[in-house]
Amino acid sequence: MAEYKKIIPRLVISDGKAVLVGGRVYGNVPDLCRIYSDSGADEIFIWEEPSDEEGHERTISLIKRIVHSVDIPIAVGGILRVMDDVKKYLYAGAKTIVFSDDDPTQLIKEAVERFGKEKVAIKARDISDGFDYAACGISRVFYPKDCQSKEDIDNIKAFPLPLVLEWQEQLVDIPTVSGMMLSVPQEEADRLMEKKLAWKSRGILVNLCEPSLTWDELKKNGDGLVPVVTQDYETDEVLMVAYMNREAYEATARTGKMIYFSRSRQELWEKGVTSGHYQYVKELRVDCDNDTLLAKVAQTGAACHTGNHSCFYRQILKKSYDERNPMKVLEQIYNVIKDRKVNPREGSYTNYLFDKGIDKILKKVGEEATETVIAAKNPNNEELIYEISDLMYHLMVLMAEKELSWLDIMDELSNR
């Protein structure tokens, strides 16, 4: 099966800030990358400019924040002198490590052998200079050369590896071209989906959010509309309920943003046009009767016109119950632990651990891990449940001490 062509925004990171074409600098890079991710980008390419050790660590920290902000792969390169440099980028969350063709061939081969070819690529200055890319065992080549015509890259046509080029519309249908890079200011991010639709109209395979059911296959209410329950894709919180007609349904699929039909105004309503609180589609589901849609979205700002994140912010009845959602329980306990660190309470065991410091916390984690192993050898699982709970509590104290969040852990687990 042929792979779709990728649209890849490109960023140069200098001292923890992103530099785009014309020297324009963005300080809030994670937000910029989140907009790329929500607006149809397939991947983000980040190149780190050389800096001192302090600047490099700031960039590594920035890459981690970017990874937390997006739902698409990140390719990172720039400072790769030894294997530890490769590990830093990977541990920060990069899906692909991009070497330069100036980097040692042996280091590139070692990275391929250790982490797999799909995680390793090269940024080439001129692929006609005799460098043996294929011998390195890499997955693809980023080729930031300004090619003006197909004739300019006749040598690329015969190149055996997938190529990612600087943006040139007329070259996208070349079989070896797997994607195009471009610098995208924030105000132009919405045009990424337009570019994909233009490619699709030319018969080029692209990654679009296309429903498997047509509008005619859905059951409409008496007004010819379908209700839509909209949910935050990260937390599953219900944000709002609205309606779609045919035009809204098809426009939502086409643009990747939630577009409803306003019954009061009798017109299409693109969520966020006036408020800036856009909803980017992550998933559409339909119920068993084909008469109600569930939209999972990335919500920018508040969903409700009152300024609340959800329209369902007023509680009118509640019966006491124990929360059993595992992630919510872990998050609640972790939040209490973090609060103890900031607002100590006399007699708190958690504060005792924080006061004693990292060595005491690590000692307790080791002890609880050992007790968990011993409990697992016993036939009664009740003791094992108790010990695992103790271990997880002490691990959360360690997380709070090292300023890690559950999001850090979940991101790493989801990458495996």
Counted residue by residue, the chain has a size of 416
The DSSP symbol for 215 reads G
Would you state the pLDDT for residue 154?
66
Q: Is pLDDT larger for residue 122 or for residue 328?
A: 122
C-alpha Rg value of the chain to the nearest Å:
25
User: Cβ(279)–Cβ(257) under 8 Å?
Assistant: yes
Alpha helices in 146-298 (DSSP H): 154-157, 191-201, 246-255
What pLDDT, in 10s, does the model give residues 363-415?
Answer: 999 999 999 999 999 888 999 999 999 999 999 999 999 999 888 888 778 76
Check residues 51 and 307 and name the one with the higher pLDDT.
307
Average pLDDT of span 110-129: 88
The predicted pLDDT at position 158 comes to 58
Q: How do beta strands 25-26 and 44-48 pair?
A: unpaired
Cα separation, 194 vs 205, whole angstroms: 14
Alpha-carbon separation of residue 97 from 13, 290, 292, 362, 390 (angstroms): 15, 44, 43, 32, 38
Least confidently predicted of 4-13, 107-116, 188-197, 245-254: 188-197
At residue 34, the pLDDT reads 92
Pairing of strands 120-123, 140-143: parallel
Which domains are assigned to the chain?
A: 6-201 (3.20.20.70), 215-299 (3.10.20.810), 326-414 (1.10.287.1080)
Please give the full DSSP string across 93-126, using - where no structure is assigned.
T-SEEEEETTS-HHHHHHHHHHH-GGGEEEE-S-
Residue 90 pLDDT class (50, 70, 90 cuts):
very high
Q: What is the C-alpha to C-alpha distance for residues 246 and 147, in angstroms, rounded to an integer?
A: 42
Other C-beta atoms lying within 10 Å of the C-beta of residue 123: 20
Query: Residue 190 pairs with which residues in a beta bridge?
Result: none
What is the arithmetic mean of pLDDT over 239-264?
Answer: 95
Convert the pLDDT of each residue in 128-171 to its tens digit.
666 778 788 899 999 887 666 777 666 666 567 888 999 988 88
| 181 closest CA partner among 144, 207, 132 | 144
Amino acid at 358: I
Say how far residue 307 (Cα) sits from the centre of its chain: 26
Q: DSSP string of 331-392?
A: HHHHHHHHHHHHS--TT-HHHHHHHH-HHHHHHHHHHHHHHHHHHHTSS-HHHHHHHHHHHH
CA distance 221 to 227: 8
Three-state SS letters, 121-149: EEECCCCCCCCCHHHHCCCEEEECCCCCC
Label residue 1 by pLDDT band (50, 70, 90): very low
Residue 230: what pLDDT? 98
Rounded mean pLDDT of the chain? Answer: 90
Least confident range from 227-236, 315-324, 341-350: namely: 315-324
Between CA 185 and CA 191 the distance in angstroms is 10
Return the pLDDT at 235.
84
For 29-85, how does the pLDDT look when each residue is reduced to its tens digit (9 = 90+)?
A: 999 999 999 999 999 999 999 888 888 888 998 998 899 889 899 999 998 989 999
